[in-house]
């Protein structure tokens, strides 16, 4: 395959044709890595550079794999969201346990218990999110897997929590005065909408963490 034109993939785009010398220069500059895909006439499928002897021989030793921008963004967001949840969760638990005599709506013991369980699960989720964010920035395989599983668990728990909260709060509306009814109903609707909006990020995580170039990059 010497002295022939090559195509390569960079940032999910196909580039080429280019000469083999240019491919080698891109490898030396760390723009293309051992995991980058290339193709030339005569090859059945795209292959990683490390699978092609005449190119792999020019790969700089000890080269770190290139981190996709999506992995960087998701890693940072995981750290931010996980850290904020760890900081804010204790305040939510304290406010839940404090008496609120002037509140137009009094939570039942079942509601308080469910909310406390939710805070506990959210605390565990936050630790997973924070750890996976740090791991993603270091292209760790376990971090991608942990963040991917977090996405699915967060979606399932978010849907379950939204439905359960709606049912429990709605069943307690009979104890609310007519004057306070609009405020309480608005709070219930706002809480359910907020819960559904909270599902957006886990869905985004699952979508991007399934992409082949992300799986390929997070392989340490």
Convert the pLDDT of each residue in 118-174 to its tens digit: 788 888 899 999 999 999 998 898 999 999 999 999 999 888 877 777 676 666 666
Domains in the chain, number:
2
Q: Are 178 and 105 in contact (CB under 8 A)?
A: no
Q: Which domain holds residue 158?
A: 69-217
Question: Residue written as tokens 């904020």?
Answer: 84
Please give the span between the terminal C-alpha atoms of the chain, in angstroms, as a whole number: 30
Q: Are 80 and 33 members of one domain?
A: no
Q: What was the pLDDT predicted at 120?
A: 84
Alpha carbon of 3 to those of 7, 20, 26, 50, 61: distances in Å?
13, 6, 16, 18, 24
Segment 62-72 mean pLDDT: 73
Q: What was the pLDDT predicted at 204?
A: 93
Segment 30-42 mean pLDDT: 86
- Does the pLDDT of residue 78 top 90, yes or no? yes
Q: Are 47 and 78 members of one domain?
A: no
pTM score, two decimals? Answer: 0.60
Q: Are 191 and 110 members of one domain?
A: yes
- List strands edge to edge, sheet with 13-18: 13-18, 6-10, 37-40, 47-48
Q: Are 148 and 196 members of one domain?
A: yes
Q: What was the pLDDT predicted at 214?
A: 83
Q: Are 76 and 150 members of one domain?
A: yes
- Does the pLDDT of residue 211 top 80, yes or no? yes
Domain assignment of residue 119, yes or no = yes
Q: Are 16 and 123 members of one domain?
A: no
Domain assignment of residue 24, yes or no = yes
How far apart CA 148 and CA 211 sit, in angstroms, is 11
Domain assignment of residue 77, yes or no = yes
Q: Are 121 and 82 members of one domain?
A: yes
Q: Are 172 and 105 members of one domain?
A: yes
Segment 190-204 mean pLDDT: 74
Q: What was the pLDDT predicted at 177?
A: 58
165 against 22, higher pLDDT:
22
Q: Are 83 and 124 members of one domain?
A: yes
- Does the pLDDT of residue 96 top 70, yes or no? no
Q: Are 37 and 78 members of one domain?
A: no
Q: Are 95 and 19 members of one domain?
A: no
Q: Are 94 and 130 members of one domain?
A: yes
Domain assignment of residue 61, yes or no = no
Domain assignment of residue 90, yes or no = yes
Q: What was the pLDDT predicted at 1?
A: 41
- Does the pLDDT of residue 13 top 90, yes or no? no
- Does the pLDDT of residue 97 top 90, yes or no? no
On the question of a cis peptide bond just before residue 138, with omega within 30 degrees of 0, the verdict is no
Domain assignment of residue 168, yes or no = yes
How far apart CA 177 and CA 19 sit, in angstroms, is 78
Domain assignment of residue 161, yes or no = yes
Domain assignment of residue 208, yes or no = yes
176 against 125, higher pLDDT:
125
Q: With bands split at pLDDT 50, 70 and 90, how would you rate the model's confidence at 82?
A: very high
State which of 33, 56, 79 marks the end of a domain: 56
């Amino acid at each position: 395959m010497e002295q022939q034109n090559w195509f390569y993939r960079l940032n999910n785009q196909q580039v080429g044709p280019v000469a083999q010398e240019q491919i080698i220069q891109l490898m030396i500059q760390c723009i293309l890595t051992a995991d980058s895909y290339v193709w030339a006439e005569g090859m059945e499928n795209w292959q990683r550079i490390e699978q092609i002897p005449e190119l792999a021989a020019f790969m700089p030793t000890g080269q770190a794999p290139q981190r996709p921008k999506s992995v960087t963004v998701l890693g940072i967001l995981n750290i931010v969201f996980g850290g904020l949840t760890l900081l804010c969760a204790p305040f939510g638990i304290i406010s839940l346990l404090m008496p609120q005599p002037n509140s137009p709506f009094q939570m039942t013991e079942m509601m308080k218990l469910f909310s406390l369980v939710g805070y506990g699960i959210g605390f565990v989720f936050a630790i997973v999110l924070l750890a996976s964010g740090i791991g993603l920035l270091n292209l760790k395989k376990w971090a991608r897997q942990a963040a991917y599983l977090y996405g699915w668990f967060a979606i399932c728990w978010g849907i379950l929590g939204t439905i359960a909260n709606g049912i429990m709060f709605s069943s307690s509306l009979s104890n609310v005065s007519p004057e306070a009814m609009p405020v309480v109903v608005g709070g219930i609707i706002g809480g359910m909408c907020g819960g559904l909006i909270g599902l957006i990020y886990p869905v985004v995580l699952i979508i991007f963490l399934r992409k082949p170039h992300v799986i390929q990059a997070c392989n340490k």
